Amino acid sequence: MTTQRRIENIALTAITLIAGLIWIFPLYWAFVTSIRSETRVVADGAGLLPDEFNLSSYFDALFNTSLIHWYINSIGTSLIITVIVLITGMMCAYALSQMRFFGRKVLYGVVLASFMVPVQSLVVPQFVLMNDLGLINKWGGIILPQLVVPVVIIIYKQFFDAVPKELKEAVVLDGGSDYTLLFRVYLPLNWGITTALGIITFIMAWNSFLWPFLVITTEDMMTIPVGITQVNDAFGVAYARIMSVALLAAAPVVIAYLIFQKRVTEAVMISSGVKG
Amino acid sequence: MALIRNKKRHGLIALSLILPFLAIFALVFAYPLYEVIRLSFTDAPLIGEGNWIGLENYIRLFSDRLFYISIKNNAYFVVLTVIPTTMIAMVIALAVNRLSGRWQALALVLFFTPYVLPVSVVTQIWAWMLDFQFGVLQPVFAFFTGKPVPVFKNPYWVLPSIAVVTIWWTNGFNVLLILAGLRNIPTDLYEAASLDGATRRQLFARITWPLLWPVTALVLTLQLILQLKLFDQVYLLSEGGPFNSSYVLLLMVYREAFQLNHGGYAAAISLILFLLIAVVSVLQYQLLRIGKGKDT
């Protein structure tokens, strides 16, 4: 019985890992392609195994495209979006969770309702607004419409609601204000959720395509996801270089994910509300 | 007196806490929401004022062939993705859940990594894999159909192919949600049932499936909403073609607003998309709740 169980487990592990390797094959194939020469890539009989180590397309990708600009734009805008979304979200969530004020229920209703609105349906007026504000082709134009992330407020509020009342009373007796409470008690108690929401917001901002694609038209101002679509026009059909650009574009998030994978896993679970 | 002042101060602090969010919300969310409704009743270009034309945009929309093609394609894409990705994610999550420590982490990395890739990286890789002449997957097509298939230029293959790409890209997220759901199921339930001699199939049917249902329902709902908002992959892989066979609502919004300069008309389409998503997600939520009531 136990030996049968063990064999079963080994088999299951093997099957799952093989399936995983097949699943990740596109990334492997992109890598193999990227380190081949352009002629080798389209040659007959080029097998599935890496058989060349040619970094020239990576140099091409780095120095003959605006990749460096796109990195800077993506990192800059995603970081700013993450910080502002977290700070405004936690402040609003704290007020909703711990304070009693006129219109509180209405505000929470609005937050919940806006969670349902697909922002994609707002792109036309948002574009007009950014145009009126003179933010087309500016970081501000990329950032502003991405700052409303109601789910951050909803999750923060759930966690703030769960903080024991006794902690609050002690601080209030010492004459602490709500700001002290938020930044000295509620926030430190919930660092885990802050990291989780930060990771999720950053990934979403880094990967967002439609909005940056609409609001940016000059190549130097593009973010990574938008910028790399330009290389097809620049290189033509040159798959080694296209794959090099794609992998370089993907590298920062993939590496960050591999380093922080436990936290990312947790972040997805927490921010979807499945794991409390 | 002091009490009133305190109350006032309390209100001011609350206001200062909600104001940053509220100001941004009003500017880039509430105002555009009002504007999209207003614009949909005008013949405005993308930039600039138009005239009030009442319901004309909507009348035009409901006699626009492309609108029905888009809705049909959106629906078809939902069918191709929502339930398949949920099922695939469930199989993967059930398998991953039974692996031990290090192997589990490794398996998760393999299945989740695509999710952190920018969409255009995903489409570039798949465009290469499925390239008509040199694509590494073309031998597979040749095996089944006798010849290579230019998948993104073929009206039959284009949406299924985009569905495969989409599932590959986003499935890891669903795996994590279902895995979290599985971990929430208390293990002593299984132990007790096993002691009573329950078979593995019974364990799944009587414990795992019903207790996992809230998470399954969540995944289904999130997927439905997400897939109705299809734009990026279609724009990058097929641009709605060939012969509009992958044209979808959001692509129509983009074309009308940003290429044909019909701001008002695009606003009307946006609003229909918004209403569609709202109605469908509320309906699905209700249905899934009923489903749950019956099963448990």
pLDDT at B296: 38
Smallest Cα–Cα separation from A139: which of A67, A211, A228? A211
Say which of B21, B33, B231 has its CB closest to residue A120.
B231
Q: Is the Cβ pair B112, A265 closer than 8 Å?
A: yes
Backbone φ, ψ for residue B52 (5° rounding): -65, 120
With cut-offs at 50, 70 and 90, classify the pLDDT of residue A89.
very high
Q: Residue B108 is part of which domain span?
A: 56-295
Smallest Cα–Cα separation from A169: which of A157, A185, A154? A185
With cut-offs at 50, 70 and 90, classify the pLDDT of residue A236.
low
Q: Is the pLDDT of residue A139 over 90?
A: yes
Backbone φ, ψ for residue A53 (5° rounding): -130, 85
How many domains are there within chain B? 1
pLDDT at B2: 58
- Interface pTM, i.e. ipTM: 0.90
Q: Is the pLDDT of residue B6 over 50?
A: yes
Q: Is the Cβ pair A265, B108 closer than 8 Å?
A: yes
Mean pLDDT of A187-200: 88
pLDDT tens, residue by residue, A2-56: 788 888 888 999 999 999 999 999 999 999 999 888 878 877 777 788 888 888 8
Residues A232/A233/A235/A237 CA torsion (nearest 10 deg): 60
CA quadruple B84, B111, A243, A80: dihedral sign: positive
Domain-wise residue ranges, chain A: 2-60, 65-271
Percent over 70 (pLDDT), chain B: 96
Q: Which of residues 25-44 of A touch B (CB under 8 A)?
A: 26-27, 29-30, 33, 41-42
Is residue B8 included in any domain, yes or no?
no
Identify the weakest region by mean pLDDT among A125-134, B99-108, B131-140: B131-140
pLDDT tens, residue by residue, A238-271: 888 899 999 999 998 899 899 988 888 988 888 7
End-to-end CA distance of chain B: 57
Q: Is the pLDDT of residue A231 over 70?
A: yes
Mean pLDDT of B144-169: 91
Mean pLDDT of B280-293: 74
Residue A90 tokens read as: 């936690």
CB A180 within 8 A of CB A194: no
Smallest Cα–Cα separation from B240: which of B118, B126, B230, A242? B230
Q: Helix A150-161 crosses helix A104-114 at what angle (to 10 degrees)?
A: 130
Q: How far is A1 from chain B (nearest CA, A)?
A: 14
The pTM is what? Answer: 0.91
Mean pLDDT of B169-186: 93
Q: How far is A276 from chain B (nearest CA, A)?
A: 10
Q: What average pLDDT does the structure give for chain B? A: 89
Is residue B86 included in any domain, yes or no?
yes
Say which of B33, B128, B136 has its CB closest to residue A242.
B128
DSSP state of A36: S
Distance of CA A183 to the CA centre of its chain: 25
With cut-offs at 50, 70 and 90, classify the pLDDT of residue B291.
low
pLDDT at A178: 84
Contacts of B106 (CB under 8 A, 6+ apart): A17, A20
Q: Which fold has domain A65-271?
A: MetI-like fold (1.10.3720)
Looking up residue B157, the CATH number of its domain turns out to be 1.10.3720.10
B-interface mutation test, from A17, A87, A97, A124, most B Cβ less than 10 A away:
A124
Locate the chain A residue with the closest alpha carbon to B34.
A125
pLDDT tens, residue by residue, B235-257: 999 988 788 899 999 999 999 99
Q: Is A162 exposed, middle or buried (0-12, 13-18, 19+ CB in 10 A)?
A: exposed
Q: Is the Cβ pair A239, B128 closer than 8 Å?
A: yes
Q: Is the pLDDT of residue A175 over 80?
A: no
Residue B275 half-sphere exposure toward CB, CA atoms < 13 A: 9
Percent over 90 (pLDDT), chain A: 47
Residue B151 half-sphere exposure toward CB, CA atoms < 13 A: 26
With cut-offs at 50, 70 and 90, classify the pLDDT of residue A122.
very high
Residue A265 tokens read as: 């896993």
Say which of A131, A147, A242 has its CB closest to residue B24.
A147
pLDDT tens, residue by residue, B26-84: 999 999 999 999 999 999 899 888 889 989 899 999 999 999 999 999 999 999 999 99
Is residue B169 included in any domain, yes or no?
yes
Q: Is the Cβ pair A128, B24 closer than 8 Å?
A: no
Residue B63 to residue B80: CA distance in whole angstroms: 27
Interface size between A and B, measured as CB pairs under 8 A: 264
Residues A108/A113/A116/A121 CA torsion (nearest 10 deg): -120
Mean pLDDT of A124-142: 95
Chain A partners of B46 at a C-beta cutoff of 8 Å?
Answer: 124, 127-128
Residue A152 tokens read as: 């951050």
pLDDT at A19: 95
Locate the chain A residue with the closest alpha carbon to B269.
A121
pLDDT at B294: 46
Identify the weakest region by mean pLDDT among A14-28, A70-84, B143-157: B143-157
